[in-house]
Structure 1
Amino acid sequence: MVGNYKVVTLCGSTRFKNEFMEAQKKLTLDGKIVISVGLFGHSGDKEVWESMDEGTLTKTKEMLDDMHKRKIDMADEIFVINVGGYIGDSTRSEIEYAKEHGKTISYLEGEKL
């Protein structure tokens, strides 16, 4: 917690940009500090990836995955954006990481694991 506010990190596929934005608004209005993704690689921000060679692309994705786990470290809980029940490999890894570190886990569409 920071002051009187719980901190929540959003997790999920970046293809669900609209759902990320809606969850961010709702959770903020619920009195939570929200940490989200830095860019939406699957639904916007494609220009970030277009000029990268394969090696740079791999390193950048690894950095972003690690950075997101540091965001989970900073949070009291995670909120999983699992539209239609979809949870990809990266998100599944983040959920397991959050469980291992005693974080509360909430889901947009109910628990799917």
Structure 2
Amino acid sequence: MINEFKVITLCGSTRFKEQFLEEQKRLTLEGNVVISVGLFGHSGDEEVWKPGIKEMLDRMHLSKIDMADEIFVINVDGYIGESTKREISYALAHGKTVKYLEKPREPMTETPRIFIA
């Protein structure tokens, strides 16, 4: 928490840019500090695919998880890709709460999880 504000990092596939923006707005209006991705590689930000950039962004996103009280997974239609699975595992290993936009398609082996509809 920062002052009275919970810090939430958004995680999920960058193909869901619109949902990231919607959830960022909703969570902010609910009184949270929201940390999101800086680029949407699967939604047109071509810079992501330059040598070394995606790897740097992946490491940076783990730092964003470190700063958060919890993560909120943008998993449209229950989809969770490999990068997001790693982020969820990382968050759980570091004692972060994990909440989901939708019920995941596959159960994660780590517990606990919280589903938010």
The TM-score normalised by the length of structure 2 is 0.86
Sequence identity, in percent?
A: 65
Q: Note the residue ranges of structure 1 that are not aligned, 5 or more in a row.
A: none
Match of 2:112 in 1: none
Distance 1:27 1:83 in 2: 17
User: Which whole-Å CA distance do the structure 1 matches of 2:22 and 2:3 have between them?
Assistant: 24
Query: Within 2, Cα distance between the matches of 1:94 and 1:69?
Result: 7
Structure 2 unaligned residues grouped into runs of 5+: 109-117
Cα distance in 2, alignment partners of residues 108 and 96 from structure 1: 17
Task: Find 2:68's aligned residue among 75, 94, 98.
Answer: 75
Q: 2:10·2:72 contact (CA, 8 Å) conserved in 1? A: yes
Q: Does 1:38 align with 2:38?
A: yes
> Higher Cα Rg: structure 1 or 2?
1
**Alpha-carbon distance in 2 for matches of 1:80, 1:61:** 19
Please give the TM-score of this superposition, normalised by the length of structure 1: 0.89
- CA-based RMSD of the aligned residues comes to 1.3
Instruction: Kindly tell me the number of residue pairs found equivalent between the two proteins.
Output: 106
The runs of at least 4 aligned residues of structure 1 exceeding 3 Å deviation read none
* Deviation of 1:44 (Å): 2.3
SS in 2 for 1:16: helix
Does the aligned pair in 1 maintain the 2:7–2:69 contact within 8 Å? yes
**Per-residue deviation, 1:8:** 0.1
